[in-house]
Structure 1
């Protein structure tokens, strides 16, 4: 006979490890903190080991607790995947928040392929420059521009988040084909209208520095979104310094060209990151989207290799 599997106690243990607190675990499970504490103490007694170090209201996993946590997390994740597979005919909704230019320039042009390849997935997209806090299940995942700051993992986000870099991007001068013949060196850009992107992590001074020059004083039009700068450059307004990932449609169609490709140094950096709560990583909608996204970007990512960024919470 198979040994008794204390599922209720394991649920309490999983919730406590995910939230970092017996009190928050109780809120998550609809129990009292004392009930959660009692369930975990019973589990410790049955296993003959201590799973948490307790200091007042603070808890911290022991080495034995960390070992059990990895197996419990994987086990509940497999259950989620199994239930999701059985219920695969039901729509799988993913509520996604995204940086505006990534959504407009990269994601939306691929939506038809995404929905064709991920049968049953429904996608709801909102775009802004704010970081979502994953409160009240408003969003399941966030594609952010720039690495999230440490406070992103703070007290408003008890469950911990997984932060996945979405590969590197090439930032290079881009212009309409009509301007390209006049640009043969980095110095030729001094005579051009340089489109300024106010919110970019990589701007003209960084690109000129990479090519051994001081940037000219800013004087061109200024925009706060990459998709506007890309559109302006394609219309012949000037030269934009933008990511080839975000401008790939315009480059592929010939509306934009790289006049200094192979001549000057470009800036390569990680611009975008996928962030989502650890508790969501085995949800079927997340598994479908994450598999498609990493394949589309050429990233080698395994679900079980993902680890959460988390601060200690009480």
Structure 2
């Protein structure tokens, strides 16, 4: 039975998002139009593709089977469109976690651009993960677990999260307990928390903080100005540590964890600029390519 491409596109989008509403947003349709297209496709196929409830929609067993094939098909369609679009061949639209972009990435971009002449990068930064809807970005450097979907996620290696402060404050720190007597600076979005650090060092969690910020670059800047003690990634604080503005008085208490990943849709995997940027990123971080 021949099926038109448009209802399959609606189905693929709804299945990828697990939501008729999000599918409608991506496709520029109303949720009722998405629901109608799915119902018509189900009638044509003679099977139920989604289990519906008041709060969510979930693929049925037949829907799972169809989605595997349809998703793979749309990957190939998009890849074909990508390959014939020379306009974008050397242009990378990158989204990144704000502090990673500001503290680690942008200082190194001149080296990437000088070694890849003719390539152009546009960077946007926010704490929201890109869903790659409406094709608004090509790749994302995320802080945290990447969202599921037809994407490739490349872990960017372990980072060392440790207590950081000025040399002056460090002079008063001989043990983990000494840290608790100093003003603590909290990163509200940090995955490695003060409570976790305290637990790993046999201490009760802090009852309060001297200052709180929602961006690591503000936490690091505040600590470098001598206003308190931060718990941050040495990768992000690399410049301040190299300049001697921040030191790690208790390196043995550090927590190591993979915090960031490079994520991009599978349809972009063969784009030369994606491959070049991934290879450069791994080389800069001294991570062997998979």
Same fold (TM over 0.5): yes
Query: How much has 1:57 moved relative to structure 2?
Result: 9.5
Which structure exhibits the higher relative contact order, with contacts defined as CA atoms closer than 8 Å and separated by 6 or more residues?
1
Query: Structure 1 residues 27 and 167, CA, compared in 2 at 3 Å: closer, same or farther?
Result: closer
Q: Equivalents in 1 of 2:105, 2:248: separation in Å?
A: 22
The number of equivalent residue pairs is 235
* Residue 266 of structure 2 corresponds to residue 268 of structure 1: no
Paired position in structure 2 for 1:23? 8
8 A Cα contact 1:175 1:236, kept in partner: yes
Paired position in structure 1 for 2:276? 288
Q: Equivalents in 2 of 1:254, 1:57: separation in Å?
A: 55
Paired position in structure 2 for 1:109? 107
Alignment of 1:141-290 (within 5 A): 141-149=139-147, 152-153=148-149, 160-261=150-251, 264-290=252-278
Q: Secondary structure at the match of 2:124?
A: strand
Q: CA RMSD in A?
A: 3.3
Paired position in structure 2 for 1:307? none
Query: How much has 1:104 moved relative to structure 2?
Result: 0.5
Query: How much has 1:118 moved relative to structure 2?
Result: 2.1
Query: Structure 1 residues 22 and 238, CA, compared in 2 at 3 Å: closer, same or farther?
Result: same
Gaps of 5+ in 1: 1-15, 29-53, 63-68, 154-159, 303-314
TM-score by length of 1: 0.67
Query: How much has 1:168 moved relative to structure 2?
Result: 0.7
Q: Equivalents in 1 of 2:104, 2:263: separation in Å?
A: 17
8 A Cα contact 1:118 1:289, kept in partner: no
Gaps of 5+ in 2: 14-60
Q: Equivalents in 2 of 1:216, 1:128: separation in Å?
A: 28
Q: Secondary structure at the match of 2:167?
A: coil
Structure 1 residue ranges, 4+ long, deviating more than 6 angstroms after superposition? 25-28
8 A Cα contact 1:121 1:288, kept in partner: no
Query: How much has 1:117 moved relative to structure 2?
Result: 1.8
Alignment of 1:54-73 (within 5 A): 55=62, 58-59=65-66
